[in-house]
Structure 1
């Protein structure tokens, strides 16, 4: 029960700070990770420590590659790792699946909203009709590259809440 309260607290704080300043604070995630390790070690011994450690590693592992490729910030990775440390391996995995679905939905809405999607489809169809050899490098019709970003912590928080409410599949 205490782990769920801590989880809700870090989710609410992270949501607020990510929307407000596009940062997920170390002062929120790192104490949560430390708490999870100490809590599970204290109450369940080595098995509890391993439960928390595996969840931490899975949470970290799920987002480390997108971080290394520049697709997200380190705060997002630490938030997912703290979720794993608090709730365990299967919970963080399901949270990640919900997060990916919600993040994809948010991205599609933002693309459609900026009409970049319509321009990209037009360019793609034009490239197919004229059988251009460089189909891999599709640009918007006006020649400008469009960059759409959003604070991914929102998707992480919403995905984790979905996992908390509905559980796995």
Structure 2
């Protein structure tokens, strides 16, 4: 039960700070990871420590490539790693699936809002016709600074809460 309380606390805190400051704080994620390792070590011994370590590594690995490509911040990666350390590999994987679905939906909605549905359909058509080459996006790009971003911690929080409510064990 204490693990669930810690999880919900870090999710709410990260949600708020990511919306307000576009940051997920190290002062939230790092202590959560340390707490998870110590909690599982003290309650389940080496097996618990390994359980938490595997979850940590899976959570870290799920978002490290998007981070390295510049698609998200390090705080997002550390938050997913903290979720894995607290809840284990199976849960963090389900959380990631829900997060990806929610994040994709948010991104799709923002694209439609910014570009309009007609331009989005044209972009999709050109991309499909030109076999995902850059030609389709070059034809429709108006400005170089027209990128769309949103605080991904929102999607991580909502996805993790979905895994918590609908199961992810």
* 8 Å contact kept, 2:57–2:84: yes
What is the aligned residue count? 167
* 8 Å contact kept, 2:14–2:24: yes
What is the TM-score of this pair, normalised by structure 2? Answer: 0.90
* 8 Å contact kept, 1:40–1:49: yes
**What is the 5 A alignment of 1:6-85?**
6-85=6-85
Task: Indicate the residue corresponding to 1:107 in structure 2.
Answer: 107
From the two aligned structures, give the one with the greater helix fraction: 2
CA RMSD of aligned residues (A): 2.2
Uncovered stretches (5+) of structure 1, i.e. residues with no partner:
none
Give the secondary-structure state (helix, strand or coil) at the position aligned to 1:114: helix
* 8 Å contact kept, 2:36–2:52: yes
What is the TM-score of this pair, normalised by structure 1? Answer: 0.90
Q: 1:86 to 1:134 in 2, by over 3 A?
A: closer
Q: 1:161, CA displacement in angstroms?
A: 0.1
Detail structure 1 runs of 4+ shifted over 6 Å in the superposition.
131-134
Q: Deviations over 1:49-74 (max 9, x none)?
A: 00000000000000000000000000
* 8 Å contact kept, 1:123–1:139: no
